[in-house]
Amino acid sequence: MITEPLIVIALCIVVYGVFSARLSAGFVSAPMVFTLAGLAVGGAGLGVVDIDIDNHVLEGFGELTLGLLLFADAASTNARKLAHNTRIPRRLLLVSLPLTIVMGTLFAIWIFPDLAWQEAALIAAILAPTDAALGLAVVTSKHVPERIRQAILVESGLNDGLALPAVLLFAALSFSMMEAEGQGVGYWLRFAAQQIVVGAVVGAAIGAVLGKLVHYADGKEWITHSFRNLTCIGVAVLTLFCAHLAGGNGFIAAFVGGLVFGSFCSRRAGSLTNFVEEEGQLFSLIIFFFFGAVLLPAAFPYVTAFCFVYAFLSLTVIRMAPTALSVAGLGLKWPTIGFIGWFGPRGLASILFLLIAVEHEEVGRLTDIERVVYITVFLSILLHGATAAPFSKWFGASAAAKADSTGG
């Protein structure tokens, strides 16, 4: 029955909410609490929550959640300042992301010799994008310089869409679909270009048109107070799913649409997007709960020490080395590079990409790919959740943060 999970989720919301200011400022994040609560009452714990979740339902819910969060984060970003500080996010997206996939593939081949190179590459691609939801404490922290916060935010907002074509490519190669459908490398390059360009164009167009409309209507006091927030949700959902209909990437559309919407509707962007962010955060916490209650227990019987080794490397060397290489020459201090490199949490995007990838699989048992991804996300929830607030305060007070707070 669905009643028991809803009771536990509601209880978690109330209990964490009562102590949220103290907990979030320390070592306990909301995703951590909801994941561990799900783990405690799910199949690996008390067994109170024992339900089957259809992958398609969870995938659709996850896609909507991630789209709302990306739109809200982007809409609250200062687009004008961002336009003058693109060097760091541009390097992270165009240099670090491909390097992360390559390095992740090589480590996966080394640690899991039984995997084909396509399967190793699929693991790396699924775990390459970072999660804005798990990094919320960092990108909203006033201790961290705005330039660094925005770089991390833009990276997490756009790398989901940039990684998706690679996920689909390696999923097709892993499950022998490319040969069956006669699709060559050229097809996937065109597909990737279409996803990126169409997604960005659709997002920018909808964000501009509806941003102007909402701004004008709000100035004329045509919008009632209760519909100001609902209007923003409507714009976010339109950017996400209209991009799909047009053949583009919904995540890129949501982020670009949010940036443009916020710049045209700056007077209301803050209050409007706060509501979207709250709704998106609620949805993401529900997903983390079911991740702990349903998905993780299914993975535990198949987990080996090698899974934990790869998960740890994915969060450290595989993420941080490409980050350091990508920002070389920008004059950033080593503490800043380490801070950016460490805060590349894996969460909703990786779970969602895994659900998309395994749609192609006909094997009934849990695969090596799934268990590695689940363990990596689980470790990320714990480690990044525990370090987000303390590390942000430490870094914000450092000489490196002050030195790197300005620049192009």
Amino acid occupying residue 85: N
Q: Which residue shows structure tokens 């409309």?
A: 213
Q: What's the rounded Cα separation, in Å, for the pair 394 and 408?
A: 24
CA angle 22, 26, 28 (to 5 degrees): 90
104 is written with which tokens?
Answer: 């992740």
Q: pLDDT at position 92, please?
A: 94
Q: pLDDT at position 399, please?
A: 92
Which residues does 192 contact at the CB level (< 8 Å), separation at least 6?
165, 166, 169
Q: pLDDT at position 6, please?
A: 84
Tell me which long-range contacts 234-237 makes (C-beta under 8 A, separation of at least 24).
Answer: 235/71, 235/206, 235/207, 235/210, 235/211, 235/261, 236/67, 236/68, 236/71, 236/72, 236/276, 237/64, 237/67, 237/68
22 is written with which tokens?
Answer: 């103290």
Q: pLDDT at position 113, please?
A: 92
Report the greatest alpha carbon distance in the chain. 65
Calculate the dihedral angle through the C-alpha atoms of 78, 159, 251, 118, rounding to the nearest 10 degrees: 180
Q: What's the rounded Cα separation, in Å, for the pair 302 and 378?
A: 15
Q: What is the CA radius of gyration of the chain?
A: 20
Amino acid occupying residue 356: I
106 is written with which tokens?
Answer: 């090589």
Q: pLDDT at position 241, please?
A: 92
SS3 for 185-213 is: HHHHHHHHHHHHHHHHHHHHHHHHHHHHH
Domain housing 259: 52-403
Residues 35/380, Cβ–Cβ less than 8 Å: no
Q: pLDDT at position 72, please?
A: 80
Domain count, the chain: 1
Q: What's the rounded Cα separation, in Å, for the pair 18 and 23?
A: 10
Backbone angles phi, psi at 291, to 5 degrees: -60, -45
Q: Is residue 22 part of a domain?
A: no
What is the total residue count of the chain?
408
Q: Is residue 17 part of a domain?
A: no
Quote the pTM value.
0.84
Element (H, E) at 401: helix 399-403
Residues in the chain, pLDDT under 70: 1-2, 50-55, 78-85, 132, 175-186, 188, 266-277, 359-366, 407-408
Question: First vs last Cα of the chain: how many Å apart?
Answer: 54
Element (H, E) at 332: none
Per-residue pLDDT of 209-249, as tens digits, reads 998 998 888 888 888 877 877 888 889 899 999 998 998 88
- Positive or negative, the CA dihedral 326, 322, 288, 138 is negative
Q: Is residue 311 part of a domain?
A: yes
Residues 143/397, Cβ–Cβ less than 8 Å: yes
Q: Is residue 360 part of a domain?
A: yes
Q: Is residue 7 part of a domain?
A: no
Q: Is residue 9 part of a domain?
A: no
Q: What's the rounded Cα separation, in Å, for the pair 406 and 148?
A: 9
Q: Is residue 46 part of a domain?
A: no
Q: pLDDT at position 384, please?
A: 93
Q: pLDDT at position 158, please?
A: 79
Q: Is residue 234 part of a domain?
A: yes
CA angle 127, 132, 136 (to 5 degrees): 130
CATH code (residue 398): 1.20.1530.20
Amino acid occupying residue 62: G
Spatial CA neighbour of 378 closest among 38, 7, 25: 38
Question: Collapsing DSSP states into helix, strand and coil, what is residue 50?
Answer: coil
Q: What's the rounded Cα separation, in Å, for the pair 134 and 34?
A: 12
